[in-house]
A and B are shown apart, each in its own frame.
Chain A
């Protein structure tokens, strides 16, 4: 929040500001409470709609409970780089809206945007036929409108980016589905909220192409035994098949409407 210098390109408010502090009644006692609305192996309901941004070549909007993000695909368009490349290039840019988190995020780019971009890029780059677009770039822009955990943003962002690329008519080997899981003790939960992720021992995010039965990206953090990690990956892969049918249904209905 505190910036080192005066930003001449924006309206400058106070130098420093802090969010209001509400009473944290019983916050720590109930941080890993039992889920009331779904089971441990359930994911949050997914709303996915391609084709909402008119000026983009392809777009997708996705909601999973309190995670909302919009994705736009531009391209293939001319590469600004002076390097000749026989294959196309895929760029992913992730941006948090300032109002997307409980604590306000400055509009300037920070380190977390970068790590999310890299994770989503790795999830979808192997599914795109980049050899069909020499000397061109495909730009994917993801704006996170509401954030309920970084894991949900990475998983939802991969799903939205894949749907947007299919909506744009980019050749792909398969649709990418992604799911996250957390572990605490002997308990494993799929599709965690921010509170569950903060209280957990370890986090696993898996992105795969269910049509080809292949995994495109695995992202793991925290303290996990090998058995726990493999168990999480298998649970995520099983759930990705369900997510893939959600993507397929929304793309099919959108294609029929068009």
Chain B
């Protein structure tokens, strides 16, 4: 494919033959493949794509980072600020919710929100559905999901010591969280 960038609505030139599978940024109208984004079409594997890294709304299976803003006995409300590694602009966060049954994969009936999250914790999760009109449904029921950053009551950044405990380096006190498995382990 040539290195010329295309504009929305512009047809993509193809040699005669079958049309490759289309990815993001392209669409077919009346048998003609056209671009829907400004950019250069490239092959990713066997898929033709115009990729553009920009902030986009969460979608099912998106990996998100968010801050816990509100807790209730049945769910934790999260303000989503990073979607698939791309930060959202300031003031344009989306709202997500983590329900008690989605916090961990085992012992779902024994989960207590207060033992898993606190207000202000930064949480890594995966979107499982679009949810309702206000919130996306998020799960942390994987070993690598959960709290990745938390502040203790003394105000210091805590370190994870097990999958459900964090320790304050200043006071040594143990606090309970649903911890994410660090990536470098």
Contacts and interface: CB of A to CB of B under 8 A. Distances in A.
A117 B92 CA distance: 23
Interface stretch (B41-49, B50-58, B147-155, B171-179): B50-58
A75 B95 CA distance: 15
Interface in B117-144: 130, 132-134
Interface stretch (B2-10, B62-70, B106-114): B2-10
Interface string B25-45: 101010000101111000000
Interface of B: 5, 7-10, 25, 27, 29, 34, 36-39, 52, 54-57, 88-89, 92-95, 130, 132-134
Contacts of B93: 78
A74 B92 contact: yes
Contacts of A252: 5, 7, 38
B92 A135 contact: no
Contacts of B25: 171
A75 B92 CA distance: 8
B97 to A, nearest CB: 13
Nearest to A129: B36
Nearest to B26: A171
Interface of A: 55, 57, 74-79, 81-84, 127, 129, 133-136, 166-169, 171-175, 209, 211-212, 248, 251-252, 255-256
18 contacts: A57-B89, A77-B57, A77-B94, A78-B95, A82-B134, A84-B132, A127-B8, A135-B133, A168-B54, A169-B54, A171-B27, A172-B36, A173-B34, A173-B36, A175-B7, A211-B10, A248-B7, A255-B5
A172 B57 contact: no
Contact of B8 (A75, A82, A83, A173): A173
A168 B130 CA distance: 23
Contact of A136 (B7, B8, B27, B57): B57
Contacts of B39: 255
B8 A76 contact: no
B130 A134 contact: yes
A209 B8 CA distance: 10
